[in-house]
Amino acid sequence: MKLVRYGDKGAERPGILDADGRVRDLSAHVADIGGTCLTRDGLSALRALDPGSLPLVPGLPQQDLRLGACVGSVGKFLAIGLNYADHAAEAGMEVPAEPILFSKWTSCIAGPDDDLHLPPGSTATDWEVELGIVIGDGGRNIAPDQAARHIAGYCVINDISERDWQLRRGGTWDKGKGHDGFGPIGPWLVTADEIPDPRALRLWLEVDGHRHQDGTTATMVFGPEGIVSYTSRFTTLQPGDVIATGTPPGVGMGQKPPVYLRAGQIMRLGIDGLGQQQQRVI
């Protein structure tokens, strides 16, 4: 299944894509795409529905129908740093022995095609295409061999980052990771049964048509199951929590000299089977 949230910002409604790629409304069955809707039982109930019998939403998604973040009411937005060996090399950092875990504040979450407003005073806003994990059944201290049962699905994330505030202003990475609009999620949540191997996905990102990132999840240091298990040692994961899993090489910070986003530019990014995003920089 491909689950979506559509409509005006702050008033999104739950939906599902039909066989023709059109949005069908789920409002009669779930309040939102989030929480218990994403547990194994919740997803089983949605699978029992015939999308063709649901109300057709006017418009084409990502054309004349706005999509919001594909998960609503996210409790925790977590992320893993330096999780691609080739990205760690371009950053001049060692491959971590354990996952680097940080938070992106939930107020940064945006729709996949919403404009990105540069924060006042920003000089080093950067891009990062990432595979996102969406938690289904929650849990704590989840065993690695059980972690797949806790993953509802996957999505595209742009882990936008202000590098100066992330790395050179003291404190944690969070200061450069959580600004409003720094977490576009979607366009849709693809349930895990449709992604047989999340470590065999191509992911890419372009700025103004120039492809900066073109990698594969095969070069991840820590895979999705290991990330879910590891993260659950430090916090109880809950249905609808989102984890960004790291980025391949080609970020602006890694260019020689570094290249950062400017007003007027367009970012396009995507992951095989999970859709694409586009953000205009303002």
User: Would you state the structure tokens that stand for residue 73, as one six-digit string?
Assistant: 């009411």
Which CATH number covers residue 235?
3.90.850.10
Cα separations in angstroms, 209 against 107, 183, 278: 29, 21, 11
Query: Residue 79 domain-assigned?
Result: yes
Tell me the average confidence (pLDDT) per consecutive run of 10 residues in the chain, 282 residues long: 98 98 98 98 98 98 98 98 84 86 97 97 96 98 98 98 89 91 98 98 98 97 98 98 97 95 98 98 98
What 8-state DSSP symbol labels residue 268? E
Tell me whether residue 124 is in a domain: yes
Question: How many separate domains does the chain show?
Answer: 1
Q: Tell me what pLDDT residue 268 has.
A: 98
- The residues facing 132 across adjacent strands are 155, 244
How many residues are there in the chain?
282
- 12 domain-assigned: no
Question: What is the structure's pLDDT at 1?
Answer: 98
Q: Name the residue range of residue 175's domain.
A: 69-280
Q: Is residue 184 part of a domain?
A: yes
Q: What CA–CA distance (Å, rounded) separates 157 from 221?
A: 18
Residue 93 lies in a domain: yes
Contact (Cβ atoms closer than 8 angstroms) between residue 105 and residue 174:
yes
Asked, for residue 78, whether it belongs to a domain, the answer is: yes
* pLDDT at res. 270: 98
Flag whether 36 is in a domain: no
Residue 271: which H helix or E strand, with range?
A: strand 266-271
SS3 content of the chain, % helix, strand, coil (to 5): 20, 30, 50
Is 43 within a domain?
Answer: no
